């Protein structure tokens, strides 16, 4: 550093990310005292915090228009350029971003500091390479040292918002555009931090801390981000390439583009920049020459800086205005355009009352100080002039102090954290006005107390604004899940499944796990559903395995068979579908088809689940259809006669009920002992049907129907009421299903086969003389059989109407002369029926 010692005035010029500010801070701390002027209050605060860590709070001061921290023994000062105490004698002075001397609005301030701010031992001017001609022209004795950029900055081309890489900063040039981009990022990527010049340091720091901590991967900012704010940004995307400069909307110069783009990359890490394309809009487009200039850090040199008299004439108001409008004598300098303070002064100069008061150098100096109140709320010169006029009225009468009560009332009006982002930002701008006033030591009777009051209100509003920005532009759940899907920091957020099945990643709910079925949080946006499902896929593997193990270990009473009509037959575990039944090797041994949701379980876990469900189905079939299973085993037993096995096989295939006519041939070949063997298996050989009575019970009927539907790959058909024995005859398809369930069609009605057999047995007993009448009148009446149904049953049993409508006779009896039968008289003639011996 000996080179600096030999050269008291040095200009350090170069692009962004060259460590110029870092070097200035090092030199500041190396001297016994020093001061740096910055373009932004935010940047001054950032460096102040850094120097405090090195030197201690009692040794470091922060001096800005709205905030002053001035310890009694402070030796190192961090200031905004406007607030640099030029009368202060310090060993080191630096001015950051000195190329802002070319800015029409604030340029004259930077030019004045560049020309007059000096340290006893060392002065440093920091700026871009384009400032070099101005340094040579205005500071010929200064040593110019170039600083190369630490990393490469390259053009990455245009990109949609959805394609921007993480750790990107999107730069917009209006608050409306900042909000629009941030809102889109919230929906698509979980949100963004927001940085604008209008934010207080507290709000800005909270937003940047959120970005730096990785809570969000994107930052949306105005071009204030280009002024030395150091953040971990890999890519800068321009949402536009033009801005309103206070007078007109114009395209950014390549140097301005580079100032912003240069935020990408840090130290040795390379960065990229490009344009942002929005839906339906091609967006900003860089010209080839602009890209080349930014990448090569080559820009047109500045040919002028703006200047305004730094030591104006305070003898009279008109003299003050004339001196401020004086033209510079240096060719490299131009008269600054009329700034807000001068515009306000001119307006007040036309006020007779102000002129009456502003007499004498002290009063004129005080007027000019009042005109220097920044228009933080951007209300315009006319509106701002009315506030300044009122302030000057207080400052130029009596003790020359602003009334404490009135001042406190203005601050109290702003002490309200209700409202939206714009409302809070406007209140903060208003508080900055009163904070500026409080830091003028000769404007208030108790400036320190009022400064503390405004600071407290600003902090409260800043915290509320940070909260609103986060609420509006950050979806923390989506941000967490985006990092999880990207594989970053997945272990930082544990997956929690509570007793109700609510699934959370960290503290953010993502959905509900019912059994093995994950359902996305119903409050989630439609655009987030895929991401939430992907997160569940990644993070719930262990939970699925635990649930599979719990299923295998569970007791039988926690499994049920779903047999709702129109639905596929399924097995439910604790109310959750885990499998369906499909065609198996036989009716009583269906195949277990695991639900697709169990695909997330390991193969070993799935095999264990299938085996457990098979055992449950086997036990339930044994309980409800044990007789049918026994018949099935006998049908496969070689020791059983072939004809008996044939009968049993057909009976089992039909679910325990088969029409006698269907097995007539093998049945006819069975001897008495073989028929007894069937009876021992629970098979009843009826006049019309062979059936196993146990399968007619409601639960057996349900299981038999379910197994039949599963074997056919069909949905569960509707079941008749459990206690039903007689039903109206439906259409042909439903009639076939009821027949399989054990109902025999009898004309307009269908009767359960065991009751049909009771009527059949009574009729045949009447043939053999054991009953007086062919029809069991009491049973038929109690069942509600219609005459047509009785007639059909009698015919199926082999009876025919007797002559003269006097009942029924066996078909083998000699025929008598007959008259036309009337089935409606069937029951009336029951008592007169004769049996045919």
What integer pLDDT is reported at residue 228 of this predicted model?
55
Place of tokens 């269908």: 750
Angle, helices 175-189 vs 447-473, to 10°: value is 50
Q: How far apart are CA 750 and CA 763, in angstroms?
A: 18
Tallying the residues shown for the chain, one arrives at 837
Strand partners, 729: none
What is the chain's mean pLDDT, rounded? 87
Q: Rounded to whole angstroms, how far apart are CA atoms 66 and 88? A: 19
615/608 Cα distance (integer angstroms): 11
**Distance of alpha carbon 215 from alpha carbon 207, whole angstroms:** 10
Q: What is the DSSP string of 739-773?
A: HHHTEEEETTEEEEHHHHHHHHHHHHHHHTTSSSS
In this prediction the pTM is 0.63
SS3 (DSSP) at 196? coil
CA angle 691, 693, 699 (to 5 degrees): 115
The residue ranges of DSSP E strands in 568-645, in sequence order, are 570-573, 576-586, 589-594
**Cα–Cα distance measured from residue 702 to residue 708, given in angstroms and rounded to the nearest whole number:** 10
Residues of the chain with pLDDT under 70: 1-7, 17, 226-230, 267, 279-283, 476-494, 505-508, 524-537, 539, 772, 803-807, 811-837
Does the CA dihedral 551-557-562-568 come out positive or negative?
Answer: positive
pLDDT (0 to 100) of residue 131: 95
What is the four-CA torsion angle of 286, 291, 297, 299, rounded to 10 degrees? -60
Going by C-alpha positions, the residue among 109, 93, 118, 105 that lies closest to residue 27 is 93
Residue 385 near residue 398 (C-beta atoms within 8 A): no
Residue 490 φ/ψ, nearest 5 degrees? -60, -35
Burial (0-12, 13-18, 19+ Cβ within 10 Å), 562:
middle
For residue 3, the model assigns a pLDDT of 39
So what's the pLDDT on residue 768?
76
Site of tokens 């709000």: 203
**Integer Cα distance of 582 and 577 in angstroms:** 15
**What is the pLDDT, as a whole number, of residue 819?**
39
Taking alpha carbons only, the member of 493, 497, 488, 499 closest to residue 518 is: 497
Q: How far apart are CA 153 and CA 150, in angstroms?
A: 10
Beta-strand pair 271-277/153-155: parallel
Q: State residue 285's pLDDT score.
A: 87
């Amino acid at each position: 550093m000996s080179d600096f010692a030999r050269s008291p005035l040095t200009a350090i010029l170069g692009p962004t990310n060259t460590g110029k500010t870092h070097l200035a801070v090092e030199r500041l701390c190396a001297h016994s005292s020093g001061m740096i002027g910055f373009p932004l209050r935010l940047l001054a605060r950032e460096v102040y915090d850094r120097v405090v860590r090195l030197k201690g709070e009692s040794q470091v001061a922060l001096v800005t228009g709205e905030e002053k921290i001035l310890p009694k023994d402070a030796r190192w000062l961090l200031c905004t350029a406007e607030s640099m105490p030029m009368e202060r004698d310090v060993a080191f002075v630096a001015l950051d971003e000195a190329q802002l001397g070319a800015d029409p609005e604030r340029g004259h301030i930077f030019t004045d500091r560049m020309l007059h701010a000096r340290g006893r031992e060392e002065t440093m001017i920091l700026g871009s390479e384009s400032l070099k001609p101005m340094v040579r022209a205005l500071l010929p004795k200064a040593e110019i040292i170039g600083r190369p950029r630490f990393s490469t900055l390259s053009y990455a081309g245009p990109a949609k918002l959805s394609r921007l890489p993480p750790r990107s900063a999107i730069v917009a040039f209006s608050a409306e555009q900042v909000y629009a981009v941030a809102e889109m990022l919230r929906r698509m990527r979980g949100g963004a931090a927001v940085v604008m010049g209008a934010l207080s340091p507290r709000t800005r720091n909270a937003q940047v801390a959120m970005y730096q901590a990785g809570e969000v991967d994107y930052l949306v900012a105005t071009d204030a981000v280009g002024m030395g704010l150091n953040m971990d940004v890999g890519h800068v995307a321009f949402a536009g390439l033009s801005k309103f400069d206070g007078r007109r909307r114009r395209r950014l110069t390549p140097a301005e583009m580079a100032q912003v783009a240069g935020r990408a990359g840090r130290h040795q890490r390379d960065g990229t920049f490009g344009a942002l394309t929005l839906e339906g809009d091609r967006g900003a487009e860089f010209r080839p020459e602009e890209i080349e200039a930014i990448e090569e850090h080559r820009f047109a040199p500045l040919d002028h800086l703006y200047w305004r008299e730094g030591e104006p004439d305070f003898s009279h108001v008109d003299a003050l205005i004339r001196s401020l409008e004086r033209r510079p004598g240096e060719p490299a300098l131009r008269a600054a355009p009329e700034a807000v303070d001068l515009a306000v002064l001119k307006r007040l100069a036309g006020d007779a009352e102000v002129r009456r008061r502003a007499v004498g150098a002290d009063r004129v100096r005080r007027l000019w100080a009042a005109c220097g109140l920044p228009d933080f709320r951007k209300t315009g010169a006319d509106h701002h002039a009315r506030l300044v006029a009122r302030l000057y009225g207080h400052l130029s009468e009596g003790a020359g102090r602003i009334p404490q009560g009135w001042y406190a009332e203005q601050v109290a009006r702003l002490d309200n954290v209700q409202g939206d982002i714009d409302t809070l930002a406007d209140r903060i701008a208003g508080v900055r006005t009163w904070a500026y006033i409080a830091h003028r030591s000769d404007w208030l009777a108790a400036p320190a107390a009022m400064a503390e009051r405004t600071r407290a209100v600003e902090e409260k509003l800043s915290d509320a604004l940070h909260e609103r920005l986060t609420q509006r532009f950050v979806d923390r759940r989506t941000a967490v899940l985006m990092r999880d899907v990207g594989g970053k920091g997945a272990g930082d957020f544990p997956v929690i499944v509570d007793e109700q099945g609510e699934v959370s990643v960290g503290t953010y709910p993502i959905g509900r796990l019912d059994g093995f079925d994950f359902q996305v949080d119903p409050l989630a946006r439609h655009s987030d559903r895929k991401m939430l499902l992907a997160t569940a896929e990644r993070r719930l593997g262990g939970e699925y395995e635990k649930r599979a193990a719990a299923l295998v270990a569970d007791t039988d009473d926690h499994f049920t068979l779903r047999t709702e009509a129109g639905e596929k037959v399924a097995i439910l575990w604790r109310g959750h579908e885990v499998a369906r039944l499909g065609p198996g090797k036989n009716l009583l041994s269906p195949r277990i088809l695991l639900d697709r949701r169990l695909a997330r379980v390991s193969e070993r876990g799935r095999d264990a689940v299938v085996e457990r469900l098979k055992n449950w189905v086997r036990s339930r079939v044994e309980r409800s259809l044990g007789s049918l299973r026994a018949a099935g085993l006998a049908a496969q037993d070689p020791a059983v006669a072939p004809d008996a096995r044939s009968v049993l096989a057909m009976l089992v295939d039909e679910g325990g009920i088969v029409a006698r006519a269907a097995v007539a041939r093998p049945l006819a070949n069975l001897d008495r002992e073989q028929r007894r063997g069937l009876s021992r298996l629970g098979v009843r050989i009826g006049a019309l049907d062979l059936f196993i009575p146990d399968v007619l019970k409601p639960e057996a009927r349900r299981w038999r129907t379910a197994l039949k539907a599963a074997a056919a790959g069909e949905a569960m058909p509707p079941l008749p009421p459990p206690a039903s024995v007689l039903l109206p005859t439906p259409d042909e398809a439903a009639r076939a299903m009821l027949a399989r369930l054990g109902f025999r069609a009898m004309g307009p009605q269908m009767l359960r086969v065991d009751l049909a057999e009771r009527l059949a047995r009574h009729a045949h007993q009447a043939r053999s003389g054991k009953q007086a009448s062919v029809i069991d009148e009491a049973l038929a009446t109690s069942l509600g059989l219609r005459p047509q149904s009785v007639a059909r049953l009698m015919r199926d049993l082999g009876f025919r109407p007797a002559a003269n409508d006097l009942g029924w006779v066996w078909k083998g009896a000699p025929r008598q002369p007959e008259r036309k039968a009337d089935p409606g008289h069937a029951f009336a003639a029951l008592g007169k029926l004769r049996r045919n011996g």
